[in-house]
């Protein structure tokens, strides 16, 4: 694999509330730096994991349409990485049809790298996915606050 031919795909999906209206977004960057963006509202409601998978498929379709063969996928969804990158996680049964569709789409690429990032490092795709429903970016956690706080 050569970095000269590596395309970058950042994708994100949102469901508001969860489950609820789904927003999908994908930002594709070609090896020469050209940027391609797509965001859309999905016509049916669903959970955030469904939205994440649909956003990935939106991005994969864009990448295929532009002739990408080697792809680095950036996502803030641990479910996507766990379910699709190495296939070692137990399958979430209700997502199985979408997972199979995503695996079929991924098979069309010569090489795929996965990169999990925290939401604040996937901000553009996150803002686009939420923006299709007129929502602003999701607020971050206050500085110094731990993710899982114990109740006293």
Q: Encode pLDDT of 27-75 as tens digits.
A: 999 999 999 999 999 999 999 999 999 999 999 999 999 999 999 999 9
pLDDT attached to residue 130? 96
At 150, the pLDDT band (50, 70, 90 cuts) reads very low
Measure the CA–CA gap between 53 and 3, rounded to whole angstroms.
26
pLDDT attached to residue 45? 96
At 10, the pLDDT band (50, 70, 90 cuts) reads very high
**How would you classify the pairing of strands 6-16 and 70-75?**
parallel
- Rounded to two decimals, the pTM is 0.89
pLDDT attached to residue 29? 98
Cis peptide before 121 (omega within 30 of 0): no
pLDDT attached to residue 86? 77
Nearest to 28 by CA among 47, 6, 50: 6
Q: What is the mean pLDDT of the chain?
A: 90
Task: List pLDDT tens digits, range 81-137.
Answer: 999 987 777 888 999 999 999 999 999 999 999 999 999 999 999 999 999 999 987
pLDDT attached to residue 63? 98
Q: What does the CA dihedral 38, 42, 48, 52 come to, rounded to 10 degrees?
A: -40
Measure the CA–CA gap between 89 and 128, rounded to whole angstroms.
29
Nearest to 53 by CA among 100, 106, 98, 113: 98
Task: Tell me if residue 80 falls in helix, strand or coil.
Answer: helix
Residue 116 pairs in a beta bridge with: 75
Q: How far apart are the first and last CA of the chain?
A: 52
> Domain spanning 3-131: which superfamily?
Ribonuclease H-like superfamily/Ribonuclease H (3.30.420.10)
Measure the CA–CA gap between 119 and 43, rounded to whole angstroms.
24
């Amino acid at each position: 694999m050569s970095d000269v031919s590596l395309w970058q795909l950042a994708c994100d999906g949102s469901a508001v509330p969860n489950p609820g209206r789904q927003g999908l977004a994908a930002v594709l960057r070609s090896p020469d730096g050209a940027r391609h963006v797509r965001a859309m509202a999905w016509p049916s409601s669903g959970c955030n994991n469904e939205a994440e998978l649909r956003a990935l498929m939106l991005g994969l379709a864009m990448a295929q349409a532009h002739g990408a063969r080697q792809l680095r996928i950036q996502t803030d969804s641990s479910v996507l990485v766990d379910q699709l990158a190495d296939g070692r996680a137990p399958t979430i049964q209700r997502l199985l049809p979408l997972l199979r569709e995503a695996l079929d789409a991924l098979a069309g690429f010569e090489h795929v790298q996965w990169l999990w990032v925290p939401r604040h490092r996937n901000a553009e795709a996150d803002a686009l996915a939420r923006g299709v429903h007129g929502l602003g970016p999701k607020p971050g956690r206050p500085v110094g606050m731990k993710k899982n706080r114990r109740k006293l």
